[in-house]
Amino acid sequence: MSERLLPDADTMYRALVEKDPTFDGLFFTGVTTTGIFCRTTCTAKKPRRENVVFFPTAHEALLAGYRPCRVCRPVEPPASTPEPVRRLLSEVEADPALRLKDEDLRSRGIDPAGLRRWFKKNLGMTFQGYARTLRIGAAFGRIRHGDTATNAAFDHGWDSLSGFGDAFRKVMGAAPTRATGLVVTMTRIETPIGPLLAGATDRGICLLEFVDRRMIETQILRLKKLLRATLVPGTSRHFDTMSDELERYFAGRLRRFETPLDTRGTPFQQKVWAALMTIPYGETRSYGEQARIIGEPAAVRAVARANGDNRIAIVIPCHRVVGADGSLTGYGGGLWRKRWLLDLEQIGPQPNPSGDPRRL
Q: Which helix (H) or strand (E) element contains residue 53? A: strand 52-55
Check pLDDT > 50 for residue 360.
Answer: no
In this structure, the answer to whether residues 259 and 307 fall within a common structural domain is yes
Model confidence band, residue 157 (pLDDT cutoffs 50, 70, 90): low
Check pLDDT > 60 for residue 354.
Answer: no
Residue 125 lies in a domain: yes
Q: Which of 149, 179, 209 is the last residue of a domain?
A: 179
Residue 209 lies in a domain: no
Number of domains in the chain: 3
Q: Which of 42, 69, 206, 318 is catalytic?
A: 318
3-state DSSP call for residue 263? Answer: coil
Check pLDDT > 80 for residue 242.
Answer: yes
Cα(198)–Cα(263) distance, rounded to whole angstroms?
13
> Is 72 a known active-site residue?
no
CATH of the domain at 61: 3.40.10.10
In this structure, the answer to whether residues 111 and 90 fall within a common structural domain is yes
Q: How far lies 55's CA from each of 3, 202, 331, 358, in Å?
A: 8, 42, 24, 16
List the alpha helices (DSSP H) in 77-160.
83-94, 102-107, 112-123, 127-144, 149-155
Check pLDDT > 90 for residue 73.
Answer: no
Please list, in sequence order, all residues whose beta carbon lies within 8 angstroms of the beta carbon of residue 90, skipping any fewer than 6 positions away: none
Q: Which of 107-116, 174-183, 254-263, 301-310 has the lowest mean pLDDT?
A: 174-183
List the alpha helices (DSSP H) in the chain.
9-17, 58-63, 83-94, 102-107, 112-123, 127-144, 149-155, 161-172, 216-227, 237-250, 267-276, 287-293, 300-308, 335-346
Residue 294 lies in a domain: yes
Residue 52 lies in a domain: yes
Check pLDDT > 50 for residue 279.
Answer: yes
> Is 38 a known active-site residue?
yes
Residue 98 lies in a domain: yes
The packing angle between helices 112-123 and 83-94, to 10°, is 80
Model confidence band, residue 144 (pLDDT cutoffs 50, 70, 90): low
Cα(36)–Cα(44) distance, rounded to whole angstroms?
11
The domain of 302 spans 253-346
Cα(267)–Cα(271) distance, rounded to whole angstroms?
6
Please list, in sequence order, all residues whose beta carbon lies within 8 angstroms of the beta carbon of residue 178, skipping any fewer than 6 positions away: none
In this structure, the answer to whether residues 111 and 171 fall within a common structural domain is yes
Instruction: Give the burial string for 306-333 (b: 16+ CB within 10 Å, else e).
Output: bbebbbbbbbbbbbbbbeeeeeeeebbb
In this structure, the answer to whether residues 48 and 110 fall within a common structural domain is no
Check pLDDT > 90 for residue 211.
Answer: no
* Mean pLDDT computed over 183-204: 85
Q: Which of 152-166, 177-191, 331-345 has the lowest mean pLDDT?
A: 152-166
Residue 93 lies in a domain: yes
Q: Which of 144, 179, 214 is the last residue of a domain?
A: 179
Q: Apex CA 348: angle with CA 345 and CA 353, to 5°?
A: 140
Q: Which of 160, 179, 198 is the last residue of a domain?
A: 179
Check pLDDT > 90 for residue 241.
Answer: yes
Residue 192 lies in a domain: no
In this structure, the answer to whether residues 102 and 174 fall within a common structural domain is yes
